[in-house]
Chains A and B, each alone.
Chain A
């Protein structure tokens, strides 16, 4: 039975892919491009799920997929217009389908009320009575009976019914029925079923191929091409090809497998065994009827953990290699050939690293397509009209970054919909098209990826933001802020300009969270605000979270790494001209701005004298401001491999992780925003007492 479980797992994996695909297609359908291929593709996705579900006996899923399919078919055959309302029903239908697949996967057999309601809604659209939704009594054959109704209205695709009965010497002449069926899938097989009864397994001699199949084929190929496909098999198998169309095939005759075109009328598989009712050989059925991807794609499913292990190891090799090169250089580089060899190796190791990272790279499409959906939902909820323009969705980023990207993107799209895009009437008054546009794009820029979200809405109302900031005490009344500085206020924690708190962007826990999450990923957020014209937010992210560009610094003899993304500039303490405030705090002046100085030594309780603090590194914290970090020494920039402290220990305040330097020692990576916070609020009191002198 483990084979069966494997097939089930494959079925659900494919369902996931098909459901994603379906969502994509339906999303495009909403945009009304009118390309008939879209609805066909959507239809195929549902159809494949139905076929697979049938093979595994998920009745409720089959029944539902069938109704959904019927509605799509009505659109396909121009009996139903793909109006936004219809698309909306389809999209919700897809959600129910998704739900049903999930339940089937969990073995949950209780009926889903939402499915019942949805079936009625869909049936109303397609003009079929809800009776059409009844699960077919004998899954396969009745399914088959219903099939032509859906499938035969095709205009550009032809449908064939193929009878295929391999003879006893089929396999000895080098053929394999499975391969044939798989090849047929490549040209559009949509339905594969065994004709007649399957003999008991004990009586079944696989070598003689005692089974016969009936295959439904939907293809754009002409009859001759289909005919010639079977040429090589004719010598050892019975082949019958029947073109069928909307009127040609009697719908109620599922077993009408002896059409005139069949070469020999003797159809049913040899030895229709008596009472072959026993478990209908799960493995072969699962094998043949599982939905296959349209094209045999050359991909491989690999557990992410294995890839991560590989990525980690390559990271180590990079470091070890760097250490070796360093040692060599320290010895004066006397041996020229050894030097060349090391250079070669260093290049190859870097290439290896890139290749390994590429395994984890995924197109951002996975996240972007969710945004399209979100915009549609929000538009409905908010009574606004908006569409999404997506570009660069094939840009690839590390899987981990993609996962972390979803939440900030959702926040930003919500903000754009809630605060940016105006109500349709207001837009018309402002001379804009009724429908707002949200553009989401991604592109590679050097070692980083830029993701931007732009809307053509009202932009940020600076007066309101400023007024709100003053009201909340974020800004002193009468403070002279530049327009850009006002724009930056939207990243301030707890600032929301909507008077009515909506359940869409919530209570101003939006942009500050976005900024914090993005900084945590080593990214930056830039805002471009054109009042009355729109807003554009650009996120710049590292391609990978595993490797980080860092600046190595020294405090009290201990090395730390500051993420380079946060570093603005560095200068000597003397140049920074620090001043003492009456409170004892120190500040420096930089471009007419007072920046607080923060001693890394005291924030982290590192030993050594403050006199050692000779350098200032100006860094971006999250939220509003920059600060100067006081450090002893700058060592330089390098790429480091980020390691979590939580793998074997726990998170440590002010520290985002650790890395291994080229000499093999661990160094801590500073979490600049957290460090700033730590300095403001004081270190966690309970742990302060444990601060110990410099370790040996």
Chain B
């Protein structure tokens, strides 16, 4: 876990600035690391964060599906974000983390290396993605937020793991 990376547009402290009247324009993102890259997803879609436990593999699935988990009685698929973004299979250890997110009413586990932080962002701070920079479909990234020393890519989960029933 790194230092809080809460950022604000003005010089004033972000917390003091965040009156209720602008509350609607402020969103919080859970950020996590895959390799040396940072990603964020809307905190409202995150149900919980769990330590990696071995999943039961499913036959004939895209490579990024690591199988299914027992989440207190619910069967939840786990997807490998690194593979989905064009990388190698993650070799998961107990230090790896599964972020349980809600995508279109379904609970889905996303395997990442580590959860970093919670990022509070104002709408104006989200920059669009420059075209043709990503290996995967650009639509999976809904915007970029720069956090001083690094950059967080905000993921569009619906595009990332559509339910291809």
User: B54-93 CB contact bits vs A (8 Å, 1 = yes)?
Assistant: 1111111111011111101111110000000000010110
Interface: A315 (CB within 8 A): yes
- Contacting B at CB under 8 A, from A678-696, are 683-684, 687-688, 690-692, 694-696
Residues of B close to A654: CB separation below 8 A = 59-60
A643-B75, A648-B75, A658-B56 known; A690 vs B69 contact (CB < 8 Å): no
Instruction: Give a binary string over B18-60; 1 marks a CB under 8 Å from any A CB, 0 the rest.
Output: 0000000000000000000000000000000000001111111
Q: Given A645-B68, A646-B165, A666-B68, does the pair A652, B74 have CB atoms closer than 8 Å?
A: no
Residue contact A647 to B89, C-beta cutoff 8 Å: no
**Of all chain B residues, which has the CB nearest A692?**
B63
Q: Check A652–B70 contact: CB distance below 8 A.
A: no
The yes or no answer to A668 lying at the interface (CB within 8 A) is yes
The answer to whether B164 has its CB under 8 Å from any CB of chain A is yes
Contacting pair B56 A688 (CB below 8 A) = no
Whether, in the assembled complex, B95 has its beta carbon less than 8 Å from a beta carbon of chain A, the answer is no
Contact of A695 among B55, B62, B107, B164 (CB under 8 A): B55
Whether B67 pairs with A695 at a CB distance below 8 angstroms is yes
Whether the pair A664, B70 counts as a contact (CB closer than 8 A) is: yes
**Any B CB within 8 A of the CB of A312:** yes
Q: How far is the CB of B68 from chain A (nearest CB, A)?
A: 5
Contact with B along A269-291 (1 / 0, CB 8 A): 00000000000000000000000
Q: Could you say which of A647, A665, A690 contacts B56, with CB atoms under 8 Å apart?
A: A665
A390 to B69, CA, bound (A): 46
- The verdict on B106 contacting chain A, using a C-beta distance below 8 Å, is yes
A interface majority secondary structure: loop
**Distance of A695 Cα from B92 Cα, bound (Å):** 9
Mask, A638-664, CB within 8 Å of B = 1, is 000001111111111111011010001
User: Does A358 sit within 8 A of B, measured CB to CB?
Assistant: no
Contact A649 B163, beta carbon cutoff 8 Å: yes
Asked if A261 lies at the interface with its beta carbon under 8 angstroms from chain B, I say: no
**Chain B positions within 8 Å of A645 at CB level:** 58, 68, 75, 77
- Closest Cβ of chain A: how far from B82's Cβ, in Å? 13
- Residue among B57, B76, B89, B108 with the most chain A CB within 10 A? B57
B60 touches A647 (CB 8 A): no
Say yes or no for A393: interface residue by CB 8 A criterion. Answer: no
Partner of A650, one of B54, B59, B67, B165: B165
Contacts of A606 in B (CB 8 A): 57, 59
Of the candidates A313, A644, A684, which one forms a contact with B75 in the assembled complex, judged by CB atoms under 8 Å apart? A644
Q: Is the beta-carbon distance between A655 and B57 smaller than 8 angstroms? A: no
In the complex, the answer to whether A604 meets B59 with C-beta atoms within 8 Å is yes
CA distance A428 to B69 in the complex (A): 64
Interchain nearest-CB distance for A385 vs B (Å): 47
B92 and A696 contact, CB distance less than 8 A: yes
- A-side contacts of B76, CB under 8 Å: 648-649
Q: In the complex, what's the smallest C-beta–C-beta distance from A61 to chain B, in angstroms?
A: 38
How far is the CB of A221 from the nearest CB of chain B, in Å?
Answer: 55
Q: Could you tell me the distance between the alpha carbons of A687 and B77 in the complex, rounded to whole angstroms?
A: 17
Q: How far is the CA of A652 from the CA of B73 in the complex (A)?
A: 19
Q: Select B59's contact among A605, A648, A667, A694, beta carbons within 8 Å.
A: A605
B75 with A696: CB separation less than 8 A: no
List residues of chain A with CB within 8 A of the CB of B164.
Answer: 650
A667–B60 contact, CB under 8 A?
A: no
Inter-chain CA distance A45–B66, complex, in Å, is: 57
- Interface 1/0 per residue, A321-355 and B, CB below 8 Å: 00000000000000000000000000000000000
Interface residue A407 (Cβ < 8 Å from any Cβ of B)? no
Check if B60 sits within 8 Å of A666, measured CB to CB.
Answer: no
Query: Which residues 576-606 in A have Cβ within 8 Å of B in the complex?
Result: 603-606
Contact B74 A643, beta carbon cutoff 8 Å = yes
For B56, the closest partner residue in chain A by CB is A666
CB atoms of B74 and A648 under 8 A apart: yes
**How far is it, in angstroms, between the C-alpha of A594 and the C-alpha of B5 when the chains are bound?**
68
Is the C-beta of A558 less than 8 angstroms from some C-beta in chain B?
A: yes
Residue of B63, B75, B165 with most chain A CB atoms under a 10 A cut-off: B75
Contact residues in A for B75 (Cβ distance below 8 Å): 643-645, 647-649, 657-658, 660, 666
CA distance A390 to B53 in the complex (A): 53
| Closest CB in chain B relative to A688 CB, distance in Å | 7
Residue A147 interfacial (CB < 8 Å): no
In the bound assembly, the distance between CA atoms of A687 and B164 in angstroms comes to 12
A664 to B75, CA, bound (A): 11
**How many Å lie between the Cα of A270 and that of B86 in the bound state?**
84
Q: Bound state CA distance, A648 and B55, in angstroms?
A: 15
| CB contact between A651 and one of B69, B106, B165 (< 8 Å): that residue | B165
Residues of chain B contacted by A694 (CB below 8 angstroms)? 57
Interface hits, B83-132 → A, CB 8 Å: 89, 91-92, 106-108
Contact among B57, B61, B108 for A648, CB-based, below 8 A: B108
Contacts of A668 in B (CB 8 A): 56, 58-59, 68
Alpha-carbon distance A604/B65, docked complex (angstroms) = 15
Which residues on the B side are within 8 Å of A558 (C-beta)? 56-57
Q: Residue on B with the closest CB to A667?
A: B56
CB-based nearest A residue for B68: A666
Q: In the complex, what's the smallest C-beta–C-beta distance from A314 to chain B, in angstroms?
A: 11
* Interface flag for A316 (CB, 8 Å): yes
Q: Are A690 and B60 in contact (CB under 8 A)?
A: yes
Most chain A C-beta atoms within 10 Å of own C-beta, residue among B55, B63, B74, B106: B74
Complex-state Cα separation, A558 to B57, whole angstroms: 8
Complex contact B60–A692 (CB within 8 A):
no
Which residues of chain A come closer than 8 Å to B66, judged between CB atoms?
Answer: 695
Whether A692 and B70, one on each chain, are in contact in the complex, defined by CB atoms closer than 8 angstroms, is: no
In angstroms, Cα B108 to Cα A648, docked, is 7
Residue of B nearest to A319 (CB): B73
A646 to B60, CA, bound (A): 15
Chain A, 599-656, CB within 8 A of any chain B CB = 603-606, 643-655
**Residues of A contacting B92 in the complex (Cβ-Cβ under 8 angstroms):** 696
With A312-B73, A666-B68, A683-B59 known, 12 other A-B pairs at CB within 8 A are A316-B73, A606-B57, A649-B58, A654-B59, A655-B59, A658-B56, A658-B68, A660-B73, A666-B67, A667-B56, A684-B60, A696-B91
* 24 sample A-B contacts, Cβ–Cβ < 8 Å, listed by A number: A316-B73, A603-B59, A605-B59, A605-B60, A643-B74, A645-B58, A649-B106, A651-B165, A652-B58, A654-B60, A658-B68, A664-B70, A665-B54, A665-B70, A666-B56, A666-B67, A666-B70, A666-B75, A668-B58, A668-B59, A687-B61, A688-B60, A691-B60, A696-B91
Q: What 5 pairs between A and B have smallest CB-CB spacing?
A: A604-B59, A650-B165, A649-B77, A316-B73, A666-B56
Write the residues of chain A forming the contact surface with B, with a CB cutoff of 8 angstroms.
312-313, 315-316, 558, 603-606, 643-655, 657-658, 660, 664-668, 683-684, 687-688, 690-692, 694-696
Residues of chain B having any CB pair with chain A under 8 Å: 54-63, 65-70, 72-77, 89, 91-92, 106-108, 163-165
